[in-house]
Amino acid sequence: MGFPKGFLWGGATAAAQFEGGWRSGGKGESLQDHVTGCAPGGKRLFNAVIHPDTYYPSHDAVDHASHIEEDLALLAEMGCTCYRMSISWSRIFPHGDDDYPNEEGLRFYDHIFQTCERYKMEPVVTINHFDMPWELVRRYGGFLNREVIDLYLRYARVLFERYRGRVRKWLPFNEINFGVLPMGAFKAEGLVPPALREIDQWTPVDELGIPLRDRIQALHHQLVASALTVQIAHDIDPLNQVGCMIGYITKYPLTCSPEDMLACQHDDRFMNRLCSDVLVKGAYPAFALAWFEREGIAPVEKFGDDEVLRENAVDFYAFSYYMSNCATAKAEVERVDGNLLGGARNPYLSASEWGWQVDPDGLRYTINELQDRYSIPMMVVENGLGAPDVVEDDGSIHDAYRIDYLRSHIKAMRDAVDDGANVIGYTAWSPIDSVSSSTGQMSKRYGMVYVDRDDGGSGSGKRSKKDSFAWYQKVIASNGDDLG
């Protein structure tokens, strides 16, 4: 069978990791502008005070802001038929609660969407990708404060009205399910302890100590905001399609012991199914309600929230997939890293240099599970290999390891389509090198286009095609039939 006609092929980026221009065009500070990079094995640090002599990866990123035409031309040359990107909230509302949107910021994205239109690339737009306006964190407390729902919806409405007809596929929040994790509470929900919002103190972003109760309350506010976003998007343009975006963490039981099976089911429920069920099925699943009651963490709901969730399910299911790991009831096991969440090492899998296990069959398994559970169209909107690249003396970059990774995962996705899954698109992370979200490094490269910038932010910014560029170009031209 293979991929259907009209299957969307492209790449994915995020504003805080790609755009740069943190002070240009009236843009305000975002939460990510307060986070440093880190050395291998180190930790990213947060500080409410920005130090001029400190390197912050998001400030310049890879300077897409100055390379819009060049970057989108490269995607078009690759053959991309869609482009997943995010809009920086603080470029539109610099403080998050401004009286009026920033017209210069709106024109910035006008330029991007007009260029996409010229190249016949359909935008898939993430409204908030881990970069809340700093003032909403500092003065409001992020999504823990219910007032932020209305500020977010005002921002979303501005986007729907301004880009009506140019953008038809929207994702309200990136990897919304990561809000249940301590690190995700910072990145996805904008939660910072009140005592750290005003003082000059360096704190590892994974040691902020956000209570579980606060994470769940903020997550509820985001889930309500997402549902209301669906409603507003459909009201403004019935042709709009709004999806969820889940950071999918595929897990297997480490052994066939019943205890490991239950541990795996537990992890899957709380990492993957909780948010997915609310966004697709319109209600909290029974296991989540029981957990809330048992732990005393039930979110405070406003009258009508249940109806909002029930009546505004998403139109499609988008997710990221990079790796898998194992779950076990045993405490003393060898562990590996992963996308915000690690797990027990799977002895049957190899791992990347950053410890993420490579598992293409896990993608097929995941897609089939999602098809069985939700039966709505799916998009794989992030998938790729972070690895260091070597620029040869002649300027060439031979990244056979990246081609191998992408080939095996696209084949697995194609096999899932042959199994009967309704997959409508694939956007590799990321078509052009960008700053790593987890480490802030440039050396953890995902792109098929190399950007001359190092972990300290130095470099010319020159773009160079890697071997994977021509390979992916061939894949797209054949609609995924030629993976050679």
Element (H, E) at 455: none
Per-residue confidence in pLDDT tens, the chain, 484 aa = 899 999 999 999 999 999 999 999 999 999 999 999 887 678 899 999 999 999 999 999 999 999 999 999 999 999 999 999 999 999 999 999 999 999 999 999 999 999 999 999 999 999 999 999 999 999 999 999 999 999 999 999 999 999 999 999 999 999 999 999 998 999 999 999 999 999 999 999 989 999 999 999 999 999 999 999 999 999 999 999 999 999 999 999 999 999 999 999 999 999 999 999 999 999 999 999 999 999 999 999 999 999 999 999 999 999 999 999 999 998 788 776 665 567 888 888 888 888 888 999 999 999 999 999 999 999 999 999 999 999 999 999 999 999 999 999 999 999 999 999 999 999 999 999 999 988 889 999 999 999 999 999 999 999 999 999 999 999 999 999 999 8
What is the bridge-based pairing of β-strands 203-204 and 45-46?
Answer: antiparallel
* Nearest CA among 49, 65, 394, 66 for reference residue 200: 49
C-alpha torsion sign, points 315, 123, 66, 154? negative
**pTM of the shown model:** 0.95
List 351's β-bridge partners, or say none.
Answer: 357
Query: Catalytic residue at 19?
Result: no
Res 307: pLDDT: 98
* Nearest CA among 210, 219, 267 for reference residue 244: 219
The answer to whether the beta carbons of residues 383 and 429 sit under 8 Å apart is: yes
Question: Helix (H, G, I), strand (E, B), or coil: what is residue 10?
Answer: strand
C-alpha torsion sign, points 96, 99, 100, 102? negative
Structure confidence by residue, pLDDT tens digits, 192-229: 999 999 999 999 998 999 999 999 999 999 999 999 99
Identify whether 430 is preceded by a cis peptide bond (ω within 30 of 0). yes
* Count of H-run helices and E-run strands, the chain: 16, 16
Q: Could you give the CA distance from residue 78 to residue 472 in angstroms, rounded to a whole number?
A: 7
Q: Could you give the CA distance from residue 139 to residue 452 in angstroms, rounded to a whole number?
A: 37
Res 342: pLDDT: 72
Res 340: pLDDT: 57
Q: Which of 29, 175, 293, 295 is catalytic?
A: 175
Q: Which letter, b or e, does each residue of 252-284 get, where b requires 16 or more Cβ atoms within 10 Å of its Cβ? A: bbbeeeeebbebbeebbebbbbbbbbbbbebeb
Element (H, E) at 122: strand 122-128
Query: Catalytic residue at 259?
Result: no
Structure confidence by residue, pLDDT tens digits, 389-407: 999 999 999 999 999 999 9
